[in-house]
Amino acid sequence: METEPWGVGDQPRFLNQVVEAEWGGTPRALLRAAKAVEREGGRRPTRRWGPRVIDVDILLFGDQRVRERDLVIPHPRISEREFVLEPLAELGVKPVERW
């Protein structure tokens, strides 16, 4: 789904996708794997919410809740993003309420 930029408007539209997957490890291990995918995909540090080649977010992790400095699950802005809610609904996944 292609959407308008979120957070900072002076950049190209975003291409978004929600993927449901099974993971046998911990949320922390999944975060490490997601960051590795971003690096391998060419992501480099830039301004917050600025243009980037790839951005992998962990939206949900089953019914688990995590609240750490660099990892919050469910994603703290999940309910603000229609481009996330719509695909989740298509997958039959109902996002849980925030903290």
The burial class, CB within 10 Å (0-12 / 13-18 / 19+), for 74 is buried
Q: Which of 87, 38, 76 is nearest to 30 (CA)?
A: 38
Is residue 18 assigned to a domain? yes
Looking up residue 9, the CATH number of its domain turns out to be: 3.30.70.560
Summarised one tens digit per residue, pLDDT across range 8-61 is 778 888 888 899 999 999 999 999 999 999 999 999 888 777 778 889 999 999
Summarised one tens digit per residue, pLDDT across range 75-89 is 988 888 888 888 888
Give the domain extent around 83.
Answer: 2-90
Q: What is this structure's pTM?
A: 0.82
Distance CA 72, CA 98 (A): 10
Is residue 98 assigned to a domain? no
Active site residues: 43, 52, 55, 57
Q: Give how many domains the chain has, as a whole number.
A: 1
Distance CA 59, CA 43 (A): 19
